[in-house]
Amino acid sequence: KTCQKEFGKRGLYSAKTYAKMVKKFERGRQDAAGHDHPGAGISIFEGGHLLRRVPSRSAASGGIHRQPVSRSPVREALRRLAADGLVEEVPNKGVTVKRYSARDMEEIYEMRVMMENEAIDHLTRAKLAPMEDELTSLLARMKLAYQRRDMPDYITMDSQLHRMLVRGSGNALLFQLYDRIDTLIRQFRRFSLVDPVRQADSVVEHETILQMLLQGNNDAAKEENKRHLLLARDQVVAYLNSLPEE
């Protein structure tokens, strides 16, 4: 719960997303232990032991039983989170949620612009043709999400559209590197769309980028994409600069 609270405070994940992460991690821990406990509930680690709420009368009344658990799955989970840049090891403190500064975001967005525009350079009409229907569908769903003021769905469609453009370039290594950048930025995307005017502009910018690409005007698409990403960066940086220093 402490970790969930910290992730939420940093704008990293919604409660729903965090719950999915916990469920996935718990499933991996069970597999590593060689047994499964379907629907066992939330697990809490303390002092090298697992405190598990079980589906029984004792659990219903808040009862908890103690069960030893290997630390290897825990280390592996933390290693993966660290590789994604979501946590970091602090001397004498252990592993904590990684804090990103405004300068970090400036550098990350700079890399994102470079990667996406490199991908756009390689998006020939032949490569775009098989994706055209799906890209058009994503854009339509983005517009609908905007009209419904469904920010989570809008952000999901936004991410999928940009990822599809990079993957469509055909450069597997570029997409692999971009995937890591996208993971870092995803946790901050909602802060780039807090301003209602910015939300409306974002819809138009995505539409313009796609139109330019489908017309074969990759240079214009790159310019619009760069402008779009830098505007998003400015919103995220402004948010981070508004946070109180700790």
- CA dihedral defined by 121, 231, 138, 213, rounded to 10 degrees? -30
As a 3-state breakdown, the chain gives helix, strand, coil percent values, each rounded to 5, of 70, 10, 25
- Give the whole-angstrom CA distance, residue 111 versus residue 177: 10
State the number of CA atoms in the 13 A half-sphere of 129 facing the CB: 4
- Give the whole-angstrom CA distance, residue 210 versus residue 213: 5
State yes or no: pLDDT of 117 exceeds 80.
yes
Q: Please report which confidence band the pLDDT of residue 100 belongs to, taking 50, 70 and 90 as the band edges.
A: confident
Arithmetic mean of pLDDT, 22-41:
47
- Give the whole-angstrom CA distance, residue 175 versus residue 64: 44
pTM over 0.75: no
Residues 42-77 have pLDDT tens digits of 433 344 444 444 444 444 444 444 555 566 666 666
Strand locations in the chain (E): 43-46, 49-52, 65-68, 87-90, 94-97
Arithmetic mean of pLDDT, 111-133:
95
- Give the whole-angstrom CA distance, residue 119 versus residue 124: 10
Whose structure tokens read 């405004």? 102
pLDDT of 184: 82
Q: Please report which confidence band the pLDDT of residue 101 belongs to, taking 50, 70 and 90 as the band edges.
A: confident
Among candidates 179, 156, 1, which has minimal Cα distance to 85? 179
pLDDT of 99: 74
pLDDT of 80: 63
- Give the whole-angstrom CA distance, residue 57 versus residue 63: 8
Q: Please report which confidence band the pLDDT of residue 200 belongs to, taking 50, 70 and 90 as the band edges.
A: very high
Q: For the chain, what is the mean pLDDT?
A: 77
- Give the whole-angstrom CA distance, residue 188 versus residue 239: 9
- Give the whole-angstrom CA distance, residue 165 versus residue 172: 12
pLDDT of 21: 56
pLDDT of 79: 63
Q: Tokens at residue 100, please?
A: 């990103």
- Give the whole-angstrom CA distance, residue 175 versus residue 17: 23
pLDDT of 187: 80
The values of phi and psi at residue 49, to 5°, are -120, 160
Q: Which residue has the higher pLDDT, 121 or 183?
A: 121
Residues 3-17 have pLDDT tens digits of 545 445 454 445 555
pLDDT of 139: 97
Q: Tokens at residue 122, please?
A: 């390689």
Arithmetic mean of pLDDT, 126-130:
94
